[in-house]
Chain A
């Protein structure tokens, strides 16, 4: 039986999955379709979509930061970043499985442990990717690291496929329960605990990250390398180490996104990084590539657009909506919402 069929029958984990928009290419229950029949396009339905969209957008935003930071500092789109996020999800699955095998039931502690493990190991991957695939190409024509990134992406997908198998990996739900915010006309607006967890974690991380970049010594080094790498190095800034740290931070944020997605959807496979990565890339471009607030904003917007589009138009074509935005932004507003128009250095 294919994954989609099993999920659609609601028998995936022996119970029905929570209502959400699918981030994966594998199917998700057509919750909204049914809801639309009973409740129409009322306010409460819209509210539910906003909640779903914000959750999804948080995840896109976290991944988008990695794209935009790396672009800012070495002027390259790290196409392997989606795979970094996928690896984060896999480490989460492994860690959750190990924890439940060890019989650890304390959920908050377990989640913290999984987060730490995922952040650590994914950061190591992020560091290694930069070291292996990009640093040797520093100073090469711009197209070279880009191709290297695509190669790295394919390599990581296949590596995970070989190491973990091609099948979808499920975990049992970690956090259950929800608040019922509104109950109108037979339609219930739910805010699940896991959604609260995702949105709160994202807000905290983004505040911390903004502090890191704007207020700390590391942030100053990072920004100085972004604006003029050569000059930074002449002032004694270790540019290579700063670039490594950028990859590590991007990977750490993607790992958190991966853990949260795993908890939210309960399934991962080796291919999820591709689509999520492309969506986050779209988010970074929409916000203005190179702009950190732009990445956060773009992520939220893409999440909302995707949720609303699937709610009111067609869930099958939600990817079309996201990528149409990518095309429109690139055509009519290439510097994005918060980006600065690029001035060629003479």
Chain B
């Protein structure tokens, strides 16, 4: 296993170690290791088919990795995400994701979408019994708190005035923001965003940047970001990992990545006539 130097990450929250995901003969992720920090925005970029979404699917329990560990540094103890049941990834670890194609509950109102995300707190308040049906015990209070939290996040994404509309009726950009707000209502320790800027216009992109900064700085949680839109990635990321064909080919700050010839090669393709500088050629050969 190649050892990487990820000591630049001060407060690690997620540590991926030697992750491999095979689908039959296809290797989607090949011995991938990376670290994502708390209170940081960590971007994962790479050409199509690099294994970015597969990584998310492994993190959130969709796929069981063929090999490797996904350690999550929960305050109480270190969890192995690959061993958790689907709903416990959100419930226990607090890892929540959004999707490339929006997956709101289209027939529920915005407010309901945001309250569903808080149902664990509500279940706890109702003592996992029928108390909740009759508004007994601490339930009424918990539900009020849930509504307050939902309203807070609606306010953060500027959609308070549409709280009672069905989510499916909102424009695309707004739905994207609702998805992030809903994920935040779960009370995550780590937010995984799969191409949140896809299909957004430039001004919506800017709003997204602001929202991401606000989440990072106010909530102090880790954000893991898959994104193709470099204007977003380069502006918001604290650290970037570049994947190609399931392998990690580079890591660093936006500035380091921008000037990394290996990255440029992966993105722009190789000019067959051009000679690579000898140190890079050696590096490439070493990394396979």
Contact = CB atoms under 8 A, between A and B. Distances in A.
B248 to A, nearest CB: 25
Interface string A218-249: 10110110011011111111110000000000
Contact of A235 (B62, B106, B116): B116
Interface in B189-210: none
Contact of B105 (A212, A223, A236, A238): A223
A216 interface: yes
A249 to B, nearest CB: 11
Contact of B86 (A218, A221, A223, A233): A233
Contacts of A223: 105, 107-108, 112
B85 to A, nearest CB: 9
A234 B89 contact: yes
B186 A235 contact: yes
Q: What's the interface size class on A, roughly? A: 20 to 34
B119 A227 contact: no
A227 B90 contact: no
Interface string B106-119: 11100010011101
A221 B88 CA distance: 15
Given A234-B86, A235-B96, A236-B186, A221 B119 contact: yes
A45 to B, nearest CB: 43
Interface stretch (B120-128, B264-272, B275-283): B120-128
Contacts, number: 74
Contact of B133 (A212, A220, A231): A212
Chain A interface, >50% SS class: helix
Contacts of A234: 60, 86-87, 89-90, 96-97
A238 B120 CA distance: 9
B103 interface: yes
A232 B87 CA distance: 8
A230 B30 CA distance: 26
A163 to B, nearest CB: 31
Contacts of B115: 217, 220
Interface in B66-106: 86-91, 96-97, 99, 103-106
Interface string A121-142: 0000000000000000000000
Contacts of A235: 90, 96, 116-117, 119, 182-183, 186
Nearest to A228: B103
Contacts of B123: 217
Given A233-B87, A234-B86, A217 B122 contact: yes
Contacts of B244: none
A237 B115 CA distance: 12
For A217, A221, A227, A231, the residue with the greatest tally of chain B CB atoms inside 10 Å of its CB is A217
A292 B126 CA distance: 26
Interface in B151-188: 182-183, 186
Q: What's the interface size class on B, roughly? A: 20 to 34
Contacts of B60: 234
Contacts of A220: 108, 112, 115-116, 119
Contact of A239 (B87, B105, B132, B143): B87
A234 B255 CA distance: 34
A227 B112 CA distance: 13
A239 B104 CA distance: 16
A196 to B, nearest CB: 27
Contacts of A231: 99, 103-105
Contacts of A233: 86-87, 90
Contacts of A221: 116, 119
A231 B103 CA distance: 7
Nearest to A235: B117
Given A218-B132, A221-B119, A224-B116, A238 B103 contact: no
A228 B105 contact: yes
B280 to A, nearest CB: 40
Nearest to B105: A227
A68 to B, nearest CB: 15
A230 B101 CA distance: 13
A323 B48 CA distance: 53
B120 A236 contact: yes
B132 A238 contact: no
A235 B119 CA distance: 9
A76 B99 CA distance: 26
7 contacts: A217-B119, A220-B115, A223-B107, A230-B62, A231-B103, A234-B96, A237-B119
Closest 6 CB pairs of A and B: A236-B90, A236-B91, A227-B105, A231-B103, A217-B122, A224-B116
Given A223-B112, A239-B87, 11 more contacts: A217-B119, A217-B126, A217-B143, A218-B132, A218-B133, A220-B108, A220-B115, A227-B107, A235-B96, A236-B96, A236-B119
